[in-house]
């Protein structure tokens, strides 16, 4: 399977070159497998302070997974694990950059217009709580 991944720029100097990269994985690969390939390739840049969040999305999915650099933890945002299922309509994926876990939390909250019940129903409670946890680590 061929996946074309792009990412947001993190600063003015970072937007000079293209960030598009092609990854090749077996047809039965999961997003865990993709995450390991991305880490191996050192695809995501190192950011000063090391407390940012990268969110992998597609045209159909708001969050395939999120990656918290401070804790080096990937949080699954999908029920489907097979990339072939996630990418059945498009093999193009995009990493969105959030300068802090708090910014990522605000994005989710804005998407749901602050409706905590719907965020809970859709499974965002753990992600929101993890954002708070990582932000608290940054205060130490």
Average per-residue pLDDT in the chain? 88
Least confident of 7-21, 28-42, 83-97, 125-139: 7-21
Q: Is the pLDDT of residue 64 over 80?
A: yes
pLDDT tens track for 29-40: 998 899 999 999
| pLDDT at position 102 | 96
Judge contact between 28 and 82, C-beta under 8 A: yes
The residues, ordered by sequence, that sit 6+ positions from 128 with a Cβ below 8 Å of its Cβ are: 105, 108, 109, 119
What CATH number does residue 96 fall under?
A: 3.10.20
| pLDDT at position 129 | 96
Range 104-126 average pLDDT: 95
Q: Is 120 a member of any domain? A: no
28: three-class secondary structure by DSSP = coil
Q: Which domain holds residue 54?
A: 2-100
pTM score: 0.89
If you ran DSSP here, which 8-state letter would residue 93 be given? E
More confident: 81 or 27 = 27
How many structural domains is the chain composed of? 1
| pLDDT at position 132 | 96
Q: Is 12 a member of any domain? A: yes
More confident: 79 or 94 = 94
Nearest to 65 by CA among 126, 1, 140, 2: 126
pLDDT tens track for 80-112: 778 888 888 899 999 999 999 999 999 999 999
Q: Is 109 a member of any domain? A: no
Least confident of 37-46, 73-82, 128-137: 73-82
Q: Is 115 a member of any domain? A: no
Q: Is the pLDDT of residue 140 over 70?
A: no
């Amino acid at each position: 399977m061929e996946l074309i991944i792009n990412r947001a720029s993190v600063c003015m100097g970072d937007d000079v070159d293209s960030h598009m990269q092609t990854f090749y994985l077996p047809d039965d690969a999961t997003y865990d497998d993709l995450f390991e390939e991305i880490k191996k390739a050192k695809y995501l840049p190192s950011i000063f302070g090391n407390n940012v969040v990268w969110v992998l999305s597609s045209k159909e999915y708001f969050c395939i997974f999120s990656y918290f650099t401070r804790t080096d933890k990937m949080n699954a945002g999908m029920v489907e694990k097979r990339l072939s299922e996630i990418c059945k309509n498009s093999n193009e994926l995009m990493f969105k950059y959030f300068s802090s876990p708090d910014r990522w939390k605000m994005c989710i909250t804005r998407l749901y217009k602050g409706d905590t019940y719907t965020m809970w129903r859709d499974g965002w409670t753990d992600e929101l709580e993890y954002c708070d946890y990582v932000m608290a680590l940054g205060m130490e």
